[in-house]
Amino acid sequence: MKLWRAPFDQDPTAEPLGYVFIDKDRCKGCGYCVEYCPRDVLEMGTELSSKGYKLAKVKDGARCLACGFCELICPEFALKLTLNNKKPVNN
Ligand code: SF4
Ligand code: SF4
């Protein structure tokens, strides 16, 4: 059966709406950003920080909607979201 309309997020976004950068010196591996991202953009990696924490990482950046929730929820201010394909000046 062919549907005459489709969900807005059915197709992957060609150009990500935002880029997420994770400060490896600040991340403490709590996983909040991974748990609460509505698009499963992030995941916990295997890389350890200099303090011994397992770091979060971007799994599928193309799915990011630039909602900013990860940036808001991170208790360590380790996430930086940029819009319009502009990278932050310090990265
Ligand atoms: S919420 Fe912040 S501190 Fe926690 S895993 Fe994500 S980036 Fe790291
Ligand atoms: S901005 Fe929103 S969609 Fe993008 S990684 Fe953060 S929580 Fe996920």
Whether residue 90 lies inside any domain: the answer is no
Whether residue 48 lies inside any domain: the answer is yes
What CATH number does the domain containing 73 carry? 3.30.70.20
How much is the pLDDT for 91? 46
10 CA distance to ligand 2 centroid (A)?
17
84 CA distance to ligand 1 centroid (A)?
23
Whether residue 6 lies inside any domain: the answer is no
Rounded to two decimals, the pTM is: 0.80
Q: How many CB atoms lie within 10 A of CB 79?
A: 22
Whether residue 3 lies inside any domain: the answer is no
Query: How many domains, the chain?
Result: 1
Measured CA to CA, the distance from residue 16 to residue 32 in angstroms comes to 22
Whether residue 91 lies inside any domain: the answer is no
How much is the pLDDT for 85? 56
Nearby residues of 74 by Cβ (< 8 Å), 6 or more positions away: 32, 33
Whether residue 54 lies inside any domain: the answer is yes
pLDDT tens, residue by residue, 19-77 = 999 999 999 999 999 999 999 999 999 999 999 999 999 999 989 999 999 999 999 99
Range of the domain at 34: 18-83
**Cβ–ligand 1 contact at 28 (below 6 Å):** yes
**Cβ–ligand 1 contact at 41 (below 6 Å):** no
